[in-house]
């Protein structure tokens, strides 16, 4: 009786796996779609932040199609890496606590947005610079994507100058007319420690469109297409080390007010 070498067995297993001869993992689902223009794409992955797991997508480098297969059930943020920058998804969906009375959500008033901004500005942190990148809110709750940055000296012994850069999601709730940040640490989205010279070429941006993709059924296939913005600097974050435009509801309100004022002249 002839024996089959381990090499041949490994090759056969690989071919069967590629051909889909084995069933998907229990409780696994799929996200698939198209990224365009694919010529600008370098890689695509999904992050499940609760488990701190990353999954690499299979990409059709000709047509732009992609697939993230055998994903455990959960909520995912996609990360698109281009030749120029990283675009990371973030989930800022505001949900009401279980048992709360159902009603139509009301957008935050401008005074509420300004108050949250003041609280963030005056909060004492290790980082001396803080700014809002994105803010989503309704009724008495808000989720804020906050950039924190330290450019001054630290206790870390080094002859080089560094920038400590963090991006976190902070949750706020309004109780008895007063906005407060919810207890506990913020959800860390990204953190970097870069030499100041390297930071001048740092490109890391955020797009909520890429965030909050939830899979709730093992047979679920979520279709998702994404167009890489032509002007990356329009996304909130850092582009060439500089602040990209803030994306906040009050910015849109200010633009509408300015347009109305000009129209009335």
What does the pLDDT look like over 35-70, one tens digit per residue?
999 999 999 999 999 999 999 999 999 999 999 999
The verdict on residue 95 lying in a domain is no
- Output the pLDDT for position 30: 97
Split at pLDDT 50, 70, 90, the class of 250 is: very low
* Residues above pLDDT 70, as percent of the chain: 77
Task: Judge if 75 and 152 occupy the same domain.
Answer: no
The string of pLDDT tens digits covering residues 113-150 is 999 999 999 998 889 899 999 999 998 999 999 999 99
5 within a domain of the structure (yes/no): no
Residues 172 and 265 in one domain: yes
User: What is the number of domains present in the chain?
Assistant: 2
Confidence of residue 111 (pLDDT cuts 50, 70, 90): very high
Residues 124 and 164 in one domain: yes
- Select from 183, 173, 104 the least CA-distant residue to 144: 173
Domain residues for 216? Answer: 25-89+207-230
């Amino acid at each position: 009786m002839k024996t089959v070498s381990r090499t041949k067995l490994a090759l056969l297993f690989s071919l069967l796996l590629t051909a889909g001869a084995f069933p998907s993992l229990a409780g696994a689902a799929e996200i698939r779609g198209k990224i365009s223009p694919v010529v600008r794409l370098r890689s695509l992955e999904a992050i499940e932040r609760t488990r701190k797991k990353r999954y690499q997508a299979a990409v059709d480098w000709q047509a732009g199609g992609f697939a993230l297969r055998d994903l455990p059930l959960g909520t995912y943020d996609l990360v698109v890496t281009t030749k120029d920058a990283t675009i990371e998804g973030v989930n800022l969906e505001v949900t009401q606590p279980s048992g709360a009375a159902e009603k139509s959500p009301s957008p935050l008033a401008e005074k509420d947005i300004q108050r949250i901004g003041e609280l963030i500005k005056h909060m004492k942190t290790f980082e001396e610079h803080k700014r809002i990148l994105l803010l989503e809110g309704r009724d008495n709750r808000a989720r804020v994507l906050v950039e924190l940055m330290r450019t001054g000296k630290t206790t870390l012994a080094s002859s080089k100058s560094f920038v400590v850069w963090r991006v976190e999601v902070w949750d706020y709730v309004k109780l008895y007319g007063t906005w407060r940040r919810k207890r506990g640490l913020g959800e860390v989205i990204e953190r970097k420690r870069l030499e100041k010279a390297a930071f001048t070429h740092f490109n890391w941006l955020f797009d909520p469109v890429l965030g909050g993709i939830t899979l709730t059924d093992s047979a679920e296939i979520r279709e998702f297409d994404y167009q890489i913005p032509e002007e990356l600097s329009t996304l909130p974050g850092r582009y060439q080390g500089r602040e990209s435009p803030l994306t906040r509801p009050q910015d849109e309100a200010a633009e509408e007010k300015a347009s109305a004022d000009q129209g009335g002249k």
